[in-house]
Amino acid sequence: MDEHTVTPASVKAYLAGRPFALRALDVLRRRCYLISRLVGRPAPVVVIAHRWSDRSAAHRVAHSLEHDWMEAPESSRAPYDQILLRAPDLVVLQLRRKNVCGCLGHRHILVRESPFAAPHEIFGPAAIGEVDIAFEQIDAWHPLPLSDTAIDVKFLSGSRQREFHERQFRLKVLSVFMHELNHLVFPPEPEASVLGRSLEFYREALESYAARALSTVSLTLDRSPSRLRL
Ligand SMILES: [Zn+2]
């Protein structure tokens, strides 16, 4: 039995079951909802609210929640245990290209995304929260200039560098999302502490990814001569 009233399936059913006029309005506004969650965690269900033209970015965000989170070392995820335990059952993640204020993300005091702004029977007493993240600004952001560059130079060769930059982007997205979730769950926690936690998650996850990726690079190089001899 799932004790959580909000599941990806119930959110999907709710969105699909809304009156035709409301769904038509979503189409007119080119508003789309991608349902995701941090793998291995029953809550929160994350609804990535985005514009149709940003669907590729929305899928990259979903990938970070569904894959990169679990691949990050346990020690980097553990500081978020209490935050995730207290997180709302459903979190609307508004995906934006840019924030005019220049911030990478915000927690919202009120839920503004229209399908989730008013209480709905289907969600019962479930708590709903909302954050936003600005993915173009996140892409241009260098959280840890020195160590990012040090790892970057190790991936100078073509395709692996693209792969590295993609992973780096997704881990930055995850770090900003966890940062805003932290603010949402523990509003009084000082910024320095929230920031320290999210940067440390990013640093550890990126270093662990780089160590794994670089070890497979050398493995491929080591094996190629023997393959040639066959
Ligand atoms: Zn902050």
Q: What is the pLDDT of residues 100-120, one digit of tens each?
A: 998 999 999 889 998 998 777
Contact 116, 209 (CB under 8 A): no
Output the pLDDT for position 126: 79
How far apart CA 35 and CA 8 sit, in angstroms, is 6
Predicted pLDDT of residue 218: 55
Distance 184 CA to ligand 1 centre (A): 10
CA 181–ligand 1 middle distance (angstroms) = 10
Report pLDDT for 230.
38
- In this predicted structure, the answer to whether residue 125 has a pLDDT above a threshold of 50 is yes
Q: If you average pLDDT over residues 183-194, what whole number do you get?
A: 96
Q: Are 133 and 93 in contact (CB under 8 A)?
A: yes
The answer, yes or no, to whether residue 50 has pLDDT greater than 90, is: yes
**In the prediction, which pLDDT does 122 show?**
72
Q: What average pLDDT does the chain have? A: 88
Question: Which comes out higher in pLDDT, residue 109 or 121?
Answer: 109
The runs of H, that is alpha helices, within the chain are 8-16, 20-28, 55-63, 69-71, 74-77, 81-85, 114-117, 135-139, 145-154, 158-185, 191-229
Distance 108 CA to ligand 1 centre (A): 12
Question: What residues have a C-beta under 5 A from ligand 1, the ion?
Answer: 191
Please report which confidence band the pLDDT of residue 4 belongs to, taking 50, 70 and 90 as the band edges: low
- Is it the case that residue 99 has pLDDT exceeding 80? yes
Instruction: Tokens 């840019």: give the residue.
Output: 98
Calculate how far, in angstroms, residue 7's C-alpha sits from the geometric centre of ligand 1.
Answer: 28
Please name which of 83, 50, 75 lies closest in space to residue 193, comparing C-alpha atoms: 83
Q: How far lies 85's CA from each of 43, 78, 79, 101, 118, in Å? A: 8, 11, 11, 31, 24
Tell me how far the alpha carbon of residue 192 lies from the centroid of ligand 1, in angstroms. 8
pTM: 0.89
Residue 217: which pLDDT band, with cuts at 50, 70 and 90? low
Parallel, antiparallel, or unpaired: how do β-strands 105-108 and 90-96 relate? unpaired
Q: How far does the centroid of ligand 1 lie from the alpha carbon of residue 30, in Å?
A: 29
User: Which range has highest mean pLDDT (18-22, 28-32, 180-184)?
Assistant: 180-184
CA of 134 to the centre of ligand 1 (A): 14
Distance from residue 76's CA to the centre of ligand 1 (Å): 18
Average pLDDT rounded to a whole number, residues 151-180: 87
201, pLDDT greater than 70 = yes
pLDDT at residue 224 in the model: 45
Q: Cα dist. 44→8, 38, 39, 89, 92 in Å? A: 10, 8, 10, 5, 10
* Dist. CA 211 → ligand 1 center (Å): 29
